[in-house]
Structure 1
Amino acid sequence: MREKFKVFYEPTEEESSKIWADSQTIFILDTNILLNFYRYSQETQDEFFKIFKLIEDRIWIPFHVALEYQRIRLEVIKDEKEMFDRIEAKLKTIKTSVSNSFSEFKLKTRNPNLFNMEEKFKEEVCSLIDRFKAEVNDAGKAQPSVRTHDEIRAKLDALLEGKIGDEPEEKWVTDVAEDGATRYENKVPPGYKDESKGNEGSKAVFTYNNIEYERRFGDLIIWKQILEHLRELEGIKNVIFITDDIKEDWWEIVQCDGAKHIGARTELKSEMYKETGIDSFKMYHSDDFLAAAENYCGISINDKALEETKHVFDSWNTYLNETKKYKIDSDAVIEWQNFFSNIEKYKTDNDTASKLQGILSTVENYKTDNDTASKLQGIWSIIEKYKTDNDTASKLQGILNSINNLDNLDNLDDE
């Protein structure tokens, strides 16, 4: 039965060991694997490159993976740099808060003994904050900058030299888009979970070398390039695809004490086997890839690298999933700006609530999904709290700023 229904089976331990050792196995990296190097510590990066060194003759990436990496790289670097800036700002706020937190009690005159303990407490806490800040500064300096030499890219350049697929012709890209429209309509994996990227106006497409690419078809283009490469490549029996994508259009997911990723979608395996004639197709997340390399390559992987890889994988995908809940459409920021401008007009009126209710009704016109109304109702509840305050505008500006931050996801979620 296993032979007839092989798409429902994952390789056994014995089979996996042979696959990893087999010279006829190809290892393919997804875009997010390359970009996550900018989110790892130097130690974890070194662990990955140690593995890549062992399999470097069997590594390959599709052209579109390399293109997405080059397009998004600077945005990821910028985000990582900004994270360290935000940490420093938070530490400054905490330090100021600690320094001023007891002043209202006037302990120096009311209870000198407690005042001395307070001073010692503040000194120790501020010293701890300063030490943490120094560590943050060191970590920030170790991160690549958008304008300086990128050591990570230099290593990837060396690793992937001669191992990148050919650039497609314009007709090929157009044909994939036409096929993709039909596949997505019928929920054929991969990529249909990115259908919403087609509703993002000018950001729904990008151009490279005079060829226009629709972002919603990014995963499908990668998949098609993998299939095409394997059809042209002789002597390949096994494919290992390393990706940190978690969407259901790549993985068989079972809800059992949380979402469990069982393996590649059976439709993907079926298409892979039918189109290329290979024997085995296996997908790994980055943390599972490290663990498998330790198991099958006979090398030692730092436990901290395993922990960090899993943490980056979990936290990044949680961030994307949570933030995407509140994306409405490509014009959301403009529409919310108009919303805020209208609120500005009414900020000092006594009947703010009734006028804001009118604005809310207008915002209803911008609905593009089923639960938009409930999301807007949540914002309305916040507005209700501030309806009689003179500083309504500044408080609502905070809401607008949060919404504006969603715009940064447009490129990052191509990973």
Structure 2
Amino acid sequence: MLFLLAAHAAVAASLPWWQRRLGRTVWVVAALVPLAAVVWAGTRAARVLDGGDYRESLSWAPSLGLTVDLRLDALSLLMLWIVAGVGALVLLYCRYYVERDTGRLAAVLLAFAGAMTGLVLADNVFVLYVFWELTTVASFVLIAGRGDDREERRAARQALLVTTAGGLVMLLGLILLGRAAGTYRISGILADPPQGGAVSAAVVLVLIGAFAKSAQMPLHGWLPAAMVAPTPVSAYLHAAAMVKAGVYLIARLAPALAETAPWRPMVLAVGLTTMVAAAWRALRATDLKLLLAYGTISELGLLVALLGAGTRTAALAGAVMLLAHAAFKAALFLSVGILDRQTGTRDVRELSGAGRRMPVLFAASALAAASMAGIPPLVGYLGKEAYFETFLHGGSHLAGHGWLTAVLVAGSALTVAYAARFVQGAFGGRPGGPVARAERPEAG
């Protein structure tokens, strides 16, 4: 695990040098590192899925008792596959999409992938916090771009301020948890959860930080603003990786802390409110990336509610949705990038007939949107079946589970509506305007 982190850092630092010699092939070099992480995780999957784990530790400051503790278990295995798998695909996609500043962008994207890898493998609250903030810094650099555009700089500052402030609040909560438990190892805290008033205060602080990172309402504004970033950045950071950090932290702590007040009321209220309100806002968006951004916020709200509920059935449903969301949302963002590149617009009021003009892109996008809407037999359908099973039949012990189910139904109906709006707005009608003049995308 330490080798994987070192490989991300070393290759990221060398990519500008490689770019001067390889040109756009540098993206293939960058993609090899997360691909190696996927393969490495696959070789250890059998033991992890049987209930085992892998641990590594490196003394950082022995006199202060500070160590870099890493641990691979079932949850971190799933997250590593998402982070590394989607990361490799996005890096390969950039070979087609990115035309300037290649070496710098490749280096920062790979460094971000390394920071996310460290975050999901961390077994120490301080190590987790370091990687948490490294993802924030990388996100700031990627959103700001070259710093030439005022809107990009403004969006980058907003993302930096919200997520950094949330991270500091979260750190205070994690320290309180560690002091109450007598250990700063995350696995130690979960094995023997602490009790008391300080733990309740810690729960509130940790959840605020997680809500800020996962763009939960009312801390969501930075995510739609960040859509000014290049499409590959949006696909990776804001659909598959960075925003999942808050969801991951909630999933990691929920089995031990869900019964601690006010954990469960907070995650259910904030998550389900975000799910419905953001889905409604997605229906009004005319920019395809903005529509997907609000759809992402909505689905993150669902994930927060499922993975934070603290029950086994909810956790299983959340794991399925976590994987499904990373797959279909990354695919949709990358499809929008191709559409924008070929037509010069993402506005549904200007697009017409792209489905006839670009049938392969239309088929791939429609398949991803169908998964997002929960159409059988796709993975999104399995996730929806799982979470309805959770609250209809497995949630009788949750206060107000009938209302929770009603909110889930409303949110799911809105998801189907904005998925249909995406497909119709992007690909429906007869070719005209920018679409009629657009060239079909090439395979290579």
TM-score interval, normalised by the smaller of the two chains: under 0.3
- Which protein has the larger Cα radius of gyration, Structure 1 or Structure 2? 1
TM-score (normalised: structure 2): 0.25
Structure (1 or 2) with the greater helix fraction = 2
Instruction: Indicate the structure whose relative CO is greater, using CA pairs within 8 Å and at least 6 residues apart.
Output: 1
